Copies of this chain bind each other. A is one copy, B any other.
Amino acid sequence: MATATIRDVAQKAGVGVGTVSRVLNDNVSVSQETRRKVLAAISELDFSPNLAARRLSSGKTMVIGALVPYFTNPSVVRRLQGVVSVVTNSVYDLILFDVELVERRDEYLLNVLRRQMVDGLLIISLTPTDTDVQHIQQSDLPTVLVDANHPALSRVVVDNVFGGYQATKHLLDLGHRRIAYISDYLDDPFNSPVRDRFKGYRQALAEAGLEFRTDYHQQGPHGRYEARAMTTNLLNLPTPPTAIFAYSDTQAIGVIEAALDMGIKIPEDLSVIGFDNIEAAEYLHITTIRQALYESGVSGCELLLQVMANPMPEPQEILLPIELVQRNTTAPPKQ
């Protein structure tokens, strides 16, 4: 069926296109009778307004964009599920930008900004650089960060420094003295949580009068398998750690697998604590720092919708709570 246009509807209803547009947009200034006629014509012709035309004319796309790194990352997926739950109940559609190559991140962002592809943007687990922020501000696109921090942008975050502190403190309280940290690369500019948690780790260590040992900090690309390798290094040290704090649950799983492979018992011989509380952490009974993943997506999207509706002079910050979840992978060290 060659889809009907607004002109066809106008003709059939015996009114002008402006009037049809008015009833389409729930503009009040239409008489009952006229509205009825137009509505009848619309349903008769099975008319539905063309989106591209509407967008060009109105300047609004009615879509929200979500920029995410590694759509395969469970915690990112969980956040996205929160986003989707909100978007689905709004008038907006969701377009997903998956950045697998960090080098292409820039290209994505600029594209999105310049081409006016979306009315609002959610940036998830991807810390923008100052240059990025400049571009965003220049483009005037309502933007909200989720799990990423920048003072100039509205955001939904957790206190990662405190999270790192809390995880380490838990291990310390258990009596551990040789505590390692495995993480993503500390100098990844797009990942600020990794540095914050590291800071918390060192704070807790210092507070306990413990020296930071560089050989107890392993960093590498994110992932379960990469974490296994880092763990092996750690466990082969002359004086191996008795506890490992992993930057994420995914990495904690790798730590556990590597330890098990070496015949090291958890938690008897090695304590492991993760971060995030993804579903797998529950299944595997991993002690972890829970953060409200799903909720962060919900809050982020709600905040974005708000900002889109009435822009706020100041960037907003929503701080979500974190909480230690004790399960079966941490215990006091032997003897």
Contact = CB atoms under 8 A, between A and B. Distances in A.
B56 A84 contact: no
Number of contact residues on A: which range applies?
35 or more
Contact of A61 (B52, B94, B280): B52
Contact of A71 (B48, B53, B81, B111): B81
Q: How many copies does the complex hold?
A: 2
Interface in A18-71: 46, 48-53, 55-56, 61, 63, 71
Nearest to A72: B81
B84 A114 contact: no
Interface stretch (A95-103, A157-165, A166-174): A95-103
B96 A1 contact: no
A48 B115 contact: yes
Contacts of A1: 138-139
A3 B112 CA distance: 13
Contact of A115 (B51, B94, B95): B51
Contact of A116 (B3, B61, B93): B3
Given A52-B116, A283-B284, 5 more contacts: A52-B55, A77-B77, A84-B98, A88-B100, A94-B95
Interface of A: 1, 3, 46, 48-53, 55-56, 61, 63, 71-72, 77, 80-81, 84-85, 87-88, 93-98, 100, 111, 114-117, 138-139, 253, 279-280, 283-284
29 contacts: A3-B114, A46-B114, A48-B111, A48-B114, A50-B115, A50-B116, A51-B115, A51-B116, A52-B55, A52-B56, A52-B61, A55-B55, A63-B95, A71-B80, A71-B84, A72-B81, A77-B77, A88-B98, A88-B100, A93-B95, A93-B96, A93-B97, A94-B95, A94-B98, A95-B95, A253-B283, A279-B280, A280-B280, A280-B283
